[in-house]
């Protein structure tokens, strides 16, 4: 299992510490971070923009290529592309601009089995771009990875991870039904179908 090390670029280490706290030193953060991860809000958006906004811009411009190789720096880059973008550009099309690169990085990591070198908290966010993908095959891969993560975890942590697996399955159901996330249509300038309009009246929305 890979742990934080002094050889990491300082900014990459800062990203990992901000998002996962001590979650890379064991398997899971010692204090709950659910609000940071899934609650968000204006205050957190402003904080991430101030602290990491220039890093997000660099990642979206295709920079930080040297982060693409080791498991931990790759994870940091994925968090920047897939999570921080949604904070910095909330409600804008740019929130999704990093998705394709993030998905490619994840697939490369899986091919190299780099996910197995990360603690479970790291794996959750390595797999997250697959959950955000408007692609049926990637959604299947996401569910498969979270199923394996749940089944291979100690009972107490497995119970926590069941929530991630449930969300993965719910995301996949939407993509199986529509081929895209209807709640993104407005910000991306896409016209909703009558079925999507009906879904948007009462269907689940996951952030953006």
Query: What pTM did the predictor assign?
Result: 0.94
CB 56 within 8 A of CB 85: yes
CB 11 within 8 A of CB 18: no
DSSP letter assigned to residue 38:
I
Structure confidence at residue 4 (pLDDT): 54
Tens-digit pLDDT profile for the chain (208 aa)?
A: 445 545 799 999 999 999 999 999 988 998 888 888 988 789 999 999 999 999 999 999 999 999 999 999 999 999 999 999 999 999 999 999 999 999 999 999 999 999 999 999 999 999 999 999 999 999 999 999 999 999 999 998 999 999 999 999 999 999 999 999 999 999 999 999 999 999 999 877 776 6
Q: How far is CA 42 from CA 48, 64, 105, 144, in A?
A: 10, 27, 28, 33
H or E segment to which residue 11 belongs: helix 10-20
Average pLDDT, the chain: 94
Cα Rg, the chain, nearest whole Å: 17
Q: How far apart are CA 130 and CA 123, in angstroms?
A: 12
Establish how many alpha carbons lie within 13 A of residue 133's alpha carbon, considering only the half-sphere containing its beta carbon: 25
| All domains in the chain, ordered by first residue | 10-202 (1.25.40.10)
Structure confidence at residue 39 (pLDDT): 80
CA dihedral in degrees (170, 176, 177, 179; nearest 10)?
Answer: 110
Q: How far apart are CA 25 and CA 119, in angstroms?
A: 8
């Amino acid at each position: 299992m890979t742990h934080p090390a002094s050889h990491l670029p300082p900014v990459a280490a800062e990203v990992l510490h901000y998002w996962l706290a001590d979650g890379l030193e064991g398997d899971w953060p010692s204090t709950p971070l659910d609000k940071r991860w899934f609650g968000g809000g204006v205050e957190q958006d402003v904080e991430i923009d101030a602290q990491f906004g220039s890093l997000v811009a660099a990642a979206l411009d295709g920079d930080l290529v040297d982060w693409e190789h080791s498991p931990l720096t790759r994870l940091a880059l994925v968090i920047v592309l897939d999570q921080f973008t949604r904070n910095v550009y909330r409600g804008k099309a740019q929130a999704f601009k990093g998705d394709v690169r993030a998905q490619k990085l994840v697939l490369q990591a899986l091919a190299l089995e780099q996910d197995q070198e990360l603690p479970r908290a790291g794996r959750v966010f390595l797999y997250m771009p697959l959950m955000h993908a408007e692609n049926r095959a990637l959604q299947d891969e996401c569910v498969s990875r979270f199923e394996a993560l749940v089944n291979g975890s100690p009972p107490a942590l497995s119970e926590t991870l069941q929530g991630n697996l449930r969300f993965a399955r719910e995301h996949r159901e939407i993509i199986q039904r529509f081929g895209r996330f209807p709640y993104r249509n407005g910000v991306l300038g896409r016209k909703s179908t009558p079925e999507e309009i009906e879904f948007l009246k009462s269907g689940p929305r996951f952030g953006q």
